[in-house]
Amino acid sequence: MTTLSTLPPSGQAPSTQALQKPRKPRVQKRDWTGWKFIGPFMIVFALVLIAPVLYSIYLSFFKDQLVGGNSFVGFENYGQALTDPKFWESMGRVTLFFVVQVPIMLGIALFAALAIDSARLHLSSFFRIAIFLPYAVPAVVATLMWGFMYGTKFGLVGNLNDFFDLAIPNPLGNTWVLAAIGNIVTWEFIGYNMILFYAALRVIPTDLYEAASLDGANAFRIIRSIKLPTLRPAIVIGGIFSVIGSFQLFNEPSILQSLAPNTISTYFSPNMYAYNLSFSGQQYNYSATIAIIVGLITAVIAYIVQNSGSRKEV
């Protein structure tokens, strides 16, 4: 039986390829450059947002009892919150606030953005800055300013009643207090939403306007067929931010409470209710439960607004 030899002929050196060992596949090192950039933010994000949320969820499963101290009670706090009339009254109040105030605010901001973008408004730069300026005013200062204007004995409303012999209803009364707070919030955030819409309008290609003009489209047809469809993502973003802001209503009623203590209760809004439960009633566990439920409801409504505004037209 014959065998084939792989050895080189006598007197001939083995080839270089025969002497070389098979190379091992090179293992690529992981590049951590990106994580080095976002690492500080992720650490701050975890400490400031994720950790408090997890701690609030942890607190919501415990309860301070006379016997046994702080003990685990499972979902008992959640059951109590879902049957709490004060909680649902505050949720109904901010829901009404959201349904009425947000469309008015976004509508005025949209009208202002379209007017400034139309190139037919003189001194558009002045109006843009003037409308945006209230957003730069801190919420505390804005609420105090409007609160003194609402005063029927010492404010603008009282002065108008005395000077013109009018009978303007008390803006901080039971009937008008929610509308008065809505007026403050609208005044504060129209400028922010106007800038949001105006920025979206500025990126529309001018070719679309020229083509529409050649087709004989007037200004209203251009708004309906070009500008509003382009503004749809910006309107959705403004709506989501407004939903979150509405259910986080706290600064305005909390500051106005000293001016209208009989009208604005400690549970006027869910955030005020959770705050007073925690810092005035020392009910930290139940306060954390209220905060978690409000956060979940806000997330669900914001998700519904996003889906309804982002779905494609059939």
Task: Please check whether residues 122 and 57 belong to one and the same domain.
Answer: no
CB atoms under 10 Å from CB of 235, counted, come to 18
Q: What is the CATH number of the domain that holds 203?
A: 1.10.3720.10
Residues 238, 271: Cα–Cα separation, whole Å: 21
For residue 294, give the nearest of 275, 281, 307, 308 by alpha carbon: 275
Calculate the average pLDDT of the chain.
86
Q: Is residue 236 part of a domain?
A: yes
Q: Is residue 251 part of a domain?
A: yes
| pLDDT-derived band at 78, boundaries 50, 70, 90 | very high
Query: Would the pLDDT of 8 be above 90?
Result: no
Q: Is residue 292 part of a domain?
A: yes
Residue listed under structure tokens 């070389």: 20
Task: Please check whether residues 189 and 50 belong to one and the same domain.
Answer: no
Instruction: Write out the H or E segment, with its range, that includes residue 256.
Output: helix 251-256
Query: Would the pLDDT of 313 be above 60?
Result: no
User: pLDDT value at position 218?
Assistant: 84
Instruction: Write out the H or E segment, with its range, that includes residue 247.
Output: helix 228-247
Q: What is residue 63's three-state secondary structure?
A: strand
Beta-carbon contacts of residue 178 (< 8 Å; ≥ 6 apart): 93, 96, 97
Q: CA torsion 258→261→263→264, rounded to 10°?
A: 60
Q: Are 239 and 150 in contact (CB under 8 A)?
A: no
Task: Please check whether residues 166 and 240 belong to one and the same domain.
Answer: yes
Task: Please check whether residues 100 and 249 belong to one and the same domain.
Answer: yes
Q: Is residue 16 part of a domain?
A: no
Task: Please check whether residues 243 and 124 belong to one and the same domain.
Answer: yes
**Among 12, 46, 72, where does a domain finish?**
72
Q: Are 273 and 81 in contact (CB under 8 A)?
A: no
Task: Please check whether residues 258 and 163 belong to one and the same domain.
Answer: yes
Task: Please check whether residues 186 and 282 belong to one and the same domain.
Answer: yes
Backbone φ and ψ for 281, nearest 5 degrees, come out as -95, -5
Task: Please check whether residues 137 and 48 belong to one and the same domain.
Answer: no
User: pLDDT value at position 22?
Assistant: 61
Query: What proportion of the chain, given as a percentage, has pLDDT over 70?
Result: 89
Task: Please check whether residues 193 and 274 belong to one and the same domain.
Answer: yes
Domain membership of residue 190 as a residue range? 84-310
Q: Is residue 92 part of a domain?
A: yes
Residues 26-68 have pLDDT tens digits of 656 777 888 888 989 999 999 998 999 999 999 999 988 766 6
Residues 180-214 have pLDDT tens digits of 999 999 999 999 999 999 999 988 888 888 888 88
Q: Is residue 26 part of a domain?
A: no
Task: Please check whether residues 136 and 234 belong to one and the same domain.
Answer: yes
Query: Would the pLDDT of 297 be above 90?
Result: yes
User: pLDDT value at position 6?
Assistant: 53
Q: Is residue 297 part of a domain?
A: yes
**Among 26, 46, 72, where does a domain finish?**
72
Task: Please check whether residues 88 and 171 belong to one and the same domain.
Answer: yes
Q: Is residue 7 part of a domain?
A: no
Range with the poorest average pLDDT among 22-31, 36-45, 80-89, 300-309: 22-31
User: pLDDT value at position 120?
Assistant: 74
Task: Please check whether residues 48 and 141 belong to one and the same domain.
Answer: no
- Give the N- to C-terminal CA distance of the chain in Å, as an integer: 80
For residue 255, give the nearest of 97, 133, 145 by alpha carbon: 145
pTM score above 0.85: no
| Total domains present in the chain | 2
Q: Are 273 and 286 in contact (CB under 8 A)?
A: no
